[in-house]
Structure 1
Amino acid sequence: MPSKRIEILKNILLDLHHGSSPESVQERFNQHFSGVSALEISMMEHELMSSDTGITFEDIMSLCNVHANLFKGAVADVAVADVDQEGHPVYVFKQENLALRSALLRVRRILSNLSDPENMTIWDQLVKGLRHQTKLLAQFDQHYTRKEELFFPIMERYGHDAPPKVMWGVDDDIRDLFYVFQTKLDTLANKADLLSVTTAFETFANEFEEMIFKEESILLMILLETFTQDDWLAIADKSDQYGYAIIKPTQRWQPERQSFVEADAPTSMIDKEQSGQDESGQITTLETENGTFTISFAPKKNKEVGDRHTPQAFGNGYLSVEQANLILNHLPMEITFVNKDDVFQYYNDYVPTEEMIFKRNPSQIGRHVELCHPPRVLEKVKKVLTLLKTGKKDKVTMWFKSDKRDLFVHITYAAVRNAAGEFEGVLEYVQEIQDFRAIDTDFNRDV
């Protein structure tokens, strides 16, 4: 894409950030752009956040809706095969948005009916219906979480790091707005409480509907221009772990894929006997219609896999790699290791992903730890890492009560240091301790 377009787009956004009216900015935008690629928007946001313009992530997040309005009707569509097929992640994502939008409209309609004096005789039934629709609407959190945990890591690998960071921050703001609405709804007792409930809902709904536009007109366009079919297959394969909002895929998406290698074809395009390939795999001579050519070819050897089953010296005894892996997976806690370069390197499989307190998936491996957390907790994460790296603390502990799953969770962040005392990384272990807190005897006589 021409860098000139990126520069013009960036300057327009800079003027907006520095106080120009949305109307004047829109006029300039329309002069230069009859259509804009979602990739250009991603590049522009990256330029703004990484240059010396003084524009911060928080600035972009605060004007996110203004940005989105600027691009409405101008973002170019991307045509990609398969996305309208049942089960494709894009198809599922859009169907969820349709279902969520429908739930949003039903909540709005019920709130309107509650305000009608003629409906006072059916107040209880309407409130019951309102709570049911709100419960359905609350499933948007699974939609957002799947987006954040499966879409964003792949985007970052392709260099699109600004949009995920901004969108995750807005997602969390929307979650907060929904919590305010839900809290007010829980205390709805009579018509006097209705105004505050309706106001809280409309504040949430406005931001929620804006996010649907951003997802479908900007985010998905970036993904469709960037992701490969293998990326979408990986997302489809892991989506069940995070759940869906209101709807579920009724069938698995399986694209038609053409194999270009016949089952009985030789491993090389050139048969060994014809090519003069020796035992080392090097081709020395090749007879063709145009003469004889000497070719030097050293095939890349597969990386050898170590023996996973032979015990070897391991701490104060002997373990095989396989045994060590099994032990880590049987420890009654979720373990995560972030190395000294702040890269997420390992997590164990104590329980299936859908049962994890903090859900992990293989796509997170290799990501910078800051990208694995919502923007709202980044400062806490950085503070913990600094305390452990500098040696001010060897451990940092915290705990919380999860009312949603009736769990009491204890978390420990421990500095990992080698024999010389050098920092090698951070070990996080997460335990559900509700059962421990319930213990009231010294000995389990059933054992």
Structure 2
Amino acid sequence: MEKKEILKEIIKRLHQGERPEDLIKEFQKEIETITPAEIARIEQELIEEGMKPEEIRRFCDVHLAVFRESLKRPGISPPEWHPIAILLKEHECIISLVRDLDPEKLSRLKETEKHYLREENVLFPYLEKHGIVQPPKIMWAEHDEIRRREKEKDFRALPDLLMSHFYKENNILFPTALDVITDEEWYEVREEFDGIGYFAFNPPPPPPAKIGPGTKPVGMIDLPTGGFSKEELEAILNTLPIDITFVDKDDTVRYFSQSKDRIFVRSRAIIGRKVQNCHPQKSVHLVNRILEDFRNKKRSVAEFWLNLGGKLVYIRYFPLYDKDGGYLGCIEVTQDITRIKQIEGEKRLLD
């Protein structure tokens, strides 16, 4: 039996209730040589073969109990500027906030949201581009659990929850990321990290990249009612009082505008990402329903609104079709309508 199949067998038997120590004894040779990337890929393959992600997540700690010895190799130590080094240091900062349940420190937990946003909107998409899809979903689900505990002020549960979560990231997810993401891509990841920002410290800048970004030709964009340059189009889209995200006919994110006061975090790492992976798993079925309705022309808009940090946010999705009615994709339009709701009477140009 191949090593990969043996490791799958170990995980399946763990889920059937066999004791970790018995499996360690039986498969000691195979366990000693397993790498973090192999664990991540095997868990992913099991999900693709039908095992529920919730079950993988529920048994993650049991998996680690078996593979802990193989993970005791020298830890990862990327340079200080590196995105993974930043995340590792932030893990220590977050643990320091919850370790002794000090109310003043706990009040700072809301600042840590940027940590999770950077992982979900930058690191996870890059992992997905390299075929690591399911482990990020499991980690995102744990992020949501952490958020829920914080919102409910269930602070006593946080130390153990965070320690377990960070152990998985430090020993499986991050080494896997270092294994599959290229040096050039790490510069891109860092740029996107900087765009979202940090909560505990300002990391040192990266050294000059050895490979610079490619250049794209600049020319006029001609449309039936006029035209403009690429720079003009970009300025127009970024100046509109709405946030726009374009998802193509294959459900792939292709573009987002960069307005000054963007409501929801977006990073260039999501370009090329399936839109389903941009949402928590609990809402993916709703996303798929909307997209299917758009394809079948069952609706011309999907709209939602919510109160967010004192703002009334209006979110609409519109399908796009070519001149022959073929589905091209859809756009998400997000707008802060707080001031619009307050408008009364009239105000004319000359007033």
Q: What is the TM-score of this pair, normalised by structure 1?
A: 0.72
Q: Which residue of 1 aligns with 2:332?
A: 428
Read off the aligned partner of 1:231 and give its amino acid letter: E
Question: Do the aligned residues in 2 keep the contact of 1:328 with 1:348 (CA within 8 Å)?
Answer: yes
| Distance change in 2, residues 1:27/1:378 (3 Å) | farther
Shift of 1:394: 0.9
| Distance change in 2, residues 1:420/1:78 (3 Å) | farther
Q: Which residue of 2 aligns with 1:346?
A: 255
2:58 aligned to which of 59, 62, 81: 62
Read off the aligned partner of 1:66 and give its amino acid letter: V
2-side partners of 1:366 and 1:65: how far apart? 32
Q: Which residue of 2 aligns with 1:11?
A: 9
Give 1:215-226 correspondences, 5 Å limit.
215-226=169-180
Q: Which residue of 1 aligns with 2:242?
A: 333
Any idea what SS the aligned residue of 2:189 has? helix
1:380 aligned to which of 286, 300, 319: 286
Give 1:78-89 correspondences, 5 Å limit.
83=78, 85-89=79-83
2:115 aligned to which of 132, 137, 143: 143
Per-residue CA shift, 1:373-401, capped at 9, x if unaligned? 22232122112112212211110100110
Deviates more, 1:217-226 or 1:332-341: 217-226
Read off the aligned partner of 2:161 and give its amino acid letter: E
Give 1:288-327 correspondences, 5 Å limit.
305=217, 307-308=219-220, 312=222, 314-315=223-224, 317-322=225-230, 323-327=232-236
Any idea what SS the aligned residue of 2:107 has? helix
Per-residue CA shift, 1:75-133, capped at 9, x if unaligned? 264777x71x33222222121111111111132xx4xxxxxxxxxxxxxxxxxxx1x21
Read off the aligned partner of 1:46 and give its amino acid letter: Q
Q: Which has the larger radius of gyration?
A: 1
1:48 aligned to which of 43, 46, 49: 46
Any idea what SS the aligned residue of 1:70 has? helix
Any idea what SS the aligned residue of 1:246 has? coil
Shift of 1:413: 0.6
Per-residue CA shift, 1:154-177, capped at 9, x if unaligned? 111111112112211121122112
Question: Do the aligned residues in 1 keep the contact of 2:31 with 2:67 (CA within 8 Å)?
Answer: no
Gaps of 5+ in 1: 111-129, 182-199, 260-301
Any idea what SS the aligned residue of 2:246 has? strand
| Distance change in 2, residues 1:22/1:438 (3 Å) | farther
Read off the aligned partner of 1:163 and give its amino acid letter: P
Q: Which residue of 2 aligns with 1:92?
A: 86
| Distance change in 2, residues 1:377/1:236 (3 Å) | same
Give 1:24-423 correspondences, 5 Å limit.
24-30=22-28, 32-51=30-49, 54-75=50-71, 77=73, 83=78, 85-107=79-101, 110=102, 130=103, 132-181=104-153, 200-249=154-203, 251-254=204-207, 305=217, 307-308=219-220, 312=222, 314-315=223-224, 317-322=225-230, 323-351=232-260, 355-403=261-309, 406-423=310-327
Question: Do the aligned residues in 2 keep the contact of 1:336 with 1:427 (CA within 8 Å)?
Answer: yes
| Distance change in 2, residues 1:63/1:413 (3 Å) | same
Q: What is the TM-score of this pair, normalised by structure 2?
A: 0.90
Q: RMSD value over aligned CA atoms?
A: 2.7
Read off the aligned partner of 2:3 and give its amino acid letter: R
Question: Do the aligned residues in 2 keep the contact of 1:99 with 1:247 (CA within 8 Å)?
Answer: no
Any idea what SS the aligned residue of 2:69 has? coil
